[in-house]
Homo-oligomer: A and B are copies of this chain.
Amino acid sequence: MSNLTAALIQQTYGPRREDNLEKVACALREARRAGAQLVALSELHGSLYFCQQEDPTWFDLAEPIPGPTTDFLSRQAKELGLVVVGSVFERRAAGLYHNTAVVLDTDGRLAGRYRKMHIPDDPGYYEKYYFTPGDLGFRPIETSLGFLGVLVCWDQWYPEAARLMALEGADVLIYPTAIGWDPRDEAAEKQRQLDAWIAIQRAHAIANGLPVLSVNRIGLETPAGPPGIQFWGHSMVVGCQGELLAQAGADNEETLIVTLNRARSESVRRAWPFLRDRRIDAYQGLLKRFADDPSVAGHSSA
């Protein structure tokens, strides 16, 4: 297989899982008709983004894996012959929940899961209340289309996560995402946030010579009342040099269909041999939280 055709499904979601999965089903069929082999959905596509408040009743949305959502996605994947990357609020045990990406292969098999490793917590995104940090590490998921480096949302701000997936053999990085603006923020601040989100994901492609697929939702959601979050869309497909191959807007439901040339990663990595020159003998500090005494640590022999 020299090419891979991927579809990114950017949608709004409402309060009822059945409705959301029905929307997903329609989009999957449409993507299949357009030639997609791999389809990526956005984060927590079965519900509103409920993490805008800390309320224990939202835990009722959680489900096991396998469970209703993976059963549904499995049937779709098998029927349509697609590899599907979905997202589940995973109930692992009483009091133990994860924000989990799942991958269904073309035979309907659950190829693997990734439990979100980096968990945010800031106003409007109270994820540390709901989600236990992942404990499966950064492992690409093997599918009939290759190794998928599936990460989730907040992970996208961490070069470490992208690098680890690349070093573990990922062929592509995929970020199901739910990110948006505080409607009260000024236009310039909103633009800086969006630009930063695009830049850092382009940088993951560049640093690792891999394509990056990032899928976000759209729509204003106010499950905890105003102001809510205006999800900013801008789902994107980035090539191995960081070039934007396709990008959606902020306002409309949209399916991006992009055909990736699998040979490009090899040729770009030959031209930009970053993996060759990593100073693994000098990276131990990456395993530390911080060098707590910079007045000592910063000492340089002159």
Contacts and interface: CB of A to CB of B under 8 A. Distances in A.
Given A158-B207, A242-B199, A277-B119, A169 B294 contact: yes
A15 interface: no
Q: How many copies does the complex hold?
A: 2
A299 B207 contact: no
A185 to B, nearest CB: 10
A282 interface: yes
Contact of A300 (B114, B164, B241, B243): B114
Interface in A204-222: 204, 206-207
A112 interface: yes
A192 interface: yes
Interface residues of A, number: 72
A300 B138 CA distance: 10
Contacts of A291: 167-169
A200 interface: yes
5 contacts: A133-B279, A139-B299, A157-B274, A192-B242, A280-B286
Interface string A101-135: 00000000111111001111010000000000100
Interface stretch (A35-43, A140-148, A227-235, A254-262): A140-148
A277 B138 contact: no
B140 A294 contact: yes
Given A154-B277, A302-B112, A200 B206 contact: yes
Contacts of A285: 137-138, 164, 167-168
A278 interface: yes
Given A196-B242, A278-B160, A112 B300 contact: yes
Contacts of A137: 282, 285
A286 B241 contact: no
B167 A290 contact: yes
B277 A122 contact: no
A133 B196 CA distance: 32
Contacts of A168: 285, 291, 294, 297-298
A236 to B, nearest CB: 13
Given A164-B285, A282-B138, A199 B202 contact: yes
Interface string A37-80: 00000000000000000000000000000000000000000000
